[in-house]
Structure 1
Amino acid sequence: MPKEVSADLRWRVVYLYSHGLTITDIANTLYMTKSVVKIINLYEKWACVTNSFKGVPGRRRFFDREDMRILQNLVKDKVDWYLDELLYEIENHTGKRVSISALWRSLHCLGITRKKVLQ
């Protein structure tokens, strides 16, 4: 994976380009590849040097803090429920429909890895 170019260096590219240097000259001066064209195009289109539309890395979260609190309370109240029963209840409480694996990951984030039924 290529190394991310810092914002300071991106502004330096724009500065050199605005003073009339060619893309090849900028690339040779800053010891970069000719991919600086992307930075210049981004600046000309949006007047910024970072892509603000670039998403946050990682998996998208289904539940917010309130939903996680509801899930934690459901698990505390009903320790002997199966995942599909929890799934049905969380859908009734939050209105969000998720898969069993997403529910399992959310439980794992809460620190609940296995439910043991005490008899």
Structure 2
Amino acid sequence: MARAFSEDLKWRIIYLHHDGYSRIKIARLLHISKRTVDNILQIYVQWGTVVNPWQKPPGRHKTLTQNEMKLRTRWIGI
């Protein structure tokens, strides 16, 4: 699985870009790929933040909600 970058590093990319650094210089300075820099800048331009608000949370979806679990415990008694 791909390594997730910290929010602090993503903001550093934004600040360096605003300071006039090119995308290639940012990538070399932070030892990351140019594509990663491009992706983070694209999310920032589109949403105004470095975290994609539509990104799905990791992991498996829950089968039952909390209320359904409470009902299940009442019915079965577990």
Q: State the TM bucket, normalised to the shorter chain.
A: 0.7 to 0.9
Partner of 1:49: 50
5+ residue gaps, structure 2, are none
Number of corresponding residues: 77
Highest RCO, 1 vs 2 (Cα 8 Å, sep ≥ 6): 2
Partner of 2:5: 5
Q: Once superposed, what is the RMSD of the aligned Cα atoms? A: 1.3
Q: What TM-score do the two structures reach when normalised by structure 1?
A: 0.60
Q: What TM-score do the two structures reach when normalised by structure 2?
A: 0.88
5+ residue gaps, structure 1, are 77-111, 113-119
**DSSP 3-state at the match of 2:2:** coil
Q: How does 1:31-50 map to 2 (within 5 A)?
A: 31-34=31-34, 35-50=36-51
Point out 4+ residue stretches in structure 1 off by more than 4 angstroms.
Answer: none
Partner of 1:27: 27
**What amino acid is aligned across from residue 50 of structure 2 in structure 1?**
V
CA deviation vs aligned residue, 1:16-43 (integer Å, no higher than 9, x gap): 1111111110001111111210000111
Deviation at 1:74, TM superposition (A): 1.2
State percent identity of aligned pairs. 31
Partner of 1:74: 75
Structure with the greater alpha carbon radius of gyration: 1
